[in-house]
Amino acid sequence: MAVPYPIEPMLAIPGEIPSDSGAYALEVKWDGIRALAYVDGGVRVTGRHGADFTSRYPEISAAMAPLAGRRAVVDGEVVAFDPEGRPSFGRLQRRMHVADPAGAHLLGRLPVSYLPFDLLHLDGHTLLDLPYLDRRALLDSLGLGAPPYLPCEPAVLEATRRQGLEGVVAKRLDSPYRPGRRAEWWIKVKNLRTAEVVVGGWRPGKGRRAGGVGSLLLGVYAGASPAEFLFVGHVGTGFTDAMLGDVLRLIEPLEIGQSPFSDGLPREISRNARWVRPDVVGEVAFSMWTRDGRLRNPVWRGVRADKIPAEVRREELR
């Protein structure tokens, strides 16, 4: 049986630590991007939506060396660690848009790691219907360095908070793997509130930001087809100079003549705004959603090239 290709990854729902904790295990939620590795003579790598990541992250092919001579599909996360050993989404950002990291001399300066957490296929056998615990046992037997799963206890979440990690994913021990499905068997519990957003415009900067981006105007989609594109706020903090330059290069070619938002923007926000086609997805950290559906205290975290704009919705409403 040939290795199936491609497979859409299974997704988690947002929530809290389950009350029936004995039925679940916890995995650390790494601040990276999803990638599946297909091993069948060589190694191919795809992102969440099937984009080819093989040349972009050659470290994944190297990490699959223990599977030489075998056929497998592995699910995991691409993570960039800072010099102190903490996951850094900012460092990963600098690799996400580079098709040839070796040619750009980034492999030594900005290496990434591949952290496997599931096994979907092995040596001609599909594992999708096996319980999570059995799939993990097989994965752990392969010598790929998969991070351990942990007891489902609040103390584990607290430990990740103290270490500055994103959170945990609670996975039901008897759960099968359902490609492309956001299933209640997997629950992501975050220490930091983050949201995916789509850039619908920007306001020019002043002072040291003159000539560039001062703030981005953000939206999410709501409702059935055709979905409404709703304004959720603007963000002007969290950017490095490099991030500002990268964002401007992405959105300048997308400029359009009128607002893409379905609802009206406050006059003080829309004044001098430059509108863009909503094709660029980003991520922000924030303190809360306001009653009128706006992000409070958003801080830019980076572009999410692995996300599709039409799928960006208020997570609490899923």
Catalytic residue numbers, as ranges: 29
Cα 308 from Cα 281, distance rounded (Å): 7
Q: How far are the Cα atoms of 48, 49, 76, 95, 176 from residue 11, in angstroms, in the given order?
A: 10, 12, 12, 23, 12
According to DSSP, the β-strands at 281-285 and 194-204 are: antiparallel
Q: CB of 23 within 8 A of CB of 33?
A: no
Across 127-193, where does the E strand assignment appear? 150-151, 167-172, 182-190
User: For residue 132, what is the enclosing H or E element?
Assistant: helix 132-140
Q: CB of 266 within 8 A of CB of 298?
A: no
